[in-house]
Amino acid sequence: MVNRSSTIVVTGAAGFIGSALTEYLNYKGYNNIILVDDFSRVDKKPNFEKKKYITTVERENFFEWLFQNKPRIDFIFHIGARTDTTEFNYSVHQHLNVEYSKKVWEYCSVHLIPLIYASSAATYGNGELGYDDNHAIIPSLNPLNPYGVSKNEFDKWVLHQKNHPPLWIGLKFFNVYGPNEYHKGRMASVIFHSFNQIKKNGVVKLFKSHRPDFKDGQQLRDFVYVKDVIKVCFWLMQHQPASGIYNLGTGKARSFDDLVKATFKGVDMDTRIEYINMPEDIRSTYQYFTEAKMQKLRSVGYMDEFYSLEKGVDDYVRNYLSHNKFY
């Protein structure tokens, strides 16, 4: 049982989801946290500077630090990754998303530390095989970009391991949005970019559809609020259900038009959308539809309702983006 005196490691702790998870752990009374990340980026400092934690460890020094300090660790959340879907140099993803994750897994296996790690819905590619978190389809998935490939390669590797942590859970995050993504640039959510476009010009530019079966703005994604993501992570740590790879979305795909309408409503303005051509460098690797099958997570006992798109976007826009506030 992981309790408030337990020592927890969060990798990616200066990033979007990792910093929100750290805040939620603090909120629940867990302050013995070791933060692991690349702390050289000044723009990520607000994500962690007010959190309660034991120490920070540079990502590339983490395993050496473990060897030298031999800390007692009760749980690891491995959230850190290279998440840039426009980074086509696979060696970058191979190092951070595959090889680094293997080291985390092996350390947890040897030292009997429960592990939750971040996978991704990018592993599903075009969705030819659906969006079911069934282990049997993982070897056959065909991701559309190097990031998705790297996440799926680690998932495949995990499923072949004879030595594993006492508990291990991979979470296939769908389209996560919310506070603390300010530093993500091009990879920040459409809500973040929409809010800034509204403030600047009063109009939001969305990608045209380049497929005849989708109208402009009607591309569909499973958008999940980061507050739900971190609640699920905490629940899994506490309840420790069956090990495996689980989807983490809302289970309901929504359109980009709906997303932008909710953003305009959050700033109390009328909706104005302009459709523009999608950049050619992402056109062939663009997902037009994602929707998490959520039965597996529900079957192990997680019953909380997820934020609706409208409620999640409204909270994000009114309480965070409008005040440049961090979670």
Is 15 within the bounds of a domain? Answer: yes
| Same-domain check for residues 134 and 205 | no
Catalytic one of 100, 147, 225, 246: 147
| Same-domain check for residues 149 and 117 | yes
Q: Among residues 188, 237, 218, 240, which one has the least CA distance to residue 289?
A: 218
Is 314 within the bounds of a domain? Answer: no
Residue 184 annotated among the catalytic residues of the structure:
yes
| Same-domain check for residues 161 and 244 | yes
- Cα distance between residue 181 and residue 275, in whole Å: 24
| Same-domain check for residues 215 and 156 | no
Rounded to 5°, the CA angle 37-43-45 comes to 55
| Same-domain check for residues 193 and 107 | no
| Same-domain check for residues 271 and 144 | no
Predicted TM-score (pTM) of the model is 0.95
| Same-domain check for residues 91 and 66 | yes
The one-digit pLDDT tens for each residue of the chain (327 residues) are: 899 999 999 999 999 999 999 999 999 999 999 999 999 999 999 999 999 999 999 999 999 999 999 999 999 999 988 766 556 677 778 888 899 999 999 999 999 999 999 999 999 999 999 999 999 999 999 999 889 999 999 999 999 999 999 999 999 999 999 999 999 988 899 999 999 999 999 999 999 999 999 999 999 999 999 999 999 999 999 999 999 999 999 999 999 999 999 999 999 999 999 999 998 888 888 889 999 999 999 999 999 999 999 999 999 999 999 999 999
CATH number at residue 54: 3.40.50.720
User: In which domain, by residue range, is 143 found?
Assistant: 8-177+222-252+291-307
Structural domains of the chain, count:
2
Is 316 within the bounds of a domain? Answer: no
Q: What secondary structure, in 3-state letters, does 143-195 show? A: CCCHHHHHHHHHHHHHHCCCCCCCCEEEEEECEEECCCCHHHHHHCCHHHHHH
- Cα distance between residue 29 and residue 36, in whole Å: 20
Q: Among residues 138, 181, 130, 175, which one has the least CA distance to residue 17?
A: 181
Residue 103 annotated among the catalytic residues of the structure:
no
| Same-domain check for residues 107 and 198 | no
Strands (DSSP E) found in the chain: 8-11, 33-37, 55-58, 75-78, 115-120, 168-173, 175-177, 204-207, 220-221, 223-225, 244-248, 254-255, 273-276
Catalytic one of 184, 227, 231, 293: 184
| Same-domain check for residues 119 and 64 | yes
Is residue 75 within 8 Å of residue 114, measured between CB atoms?
Answer: yes
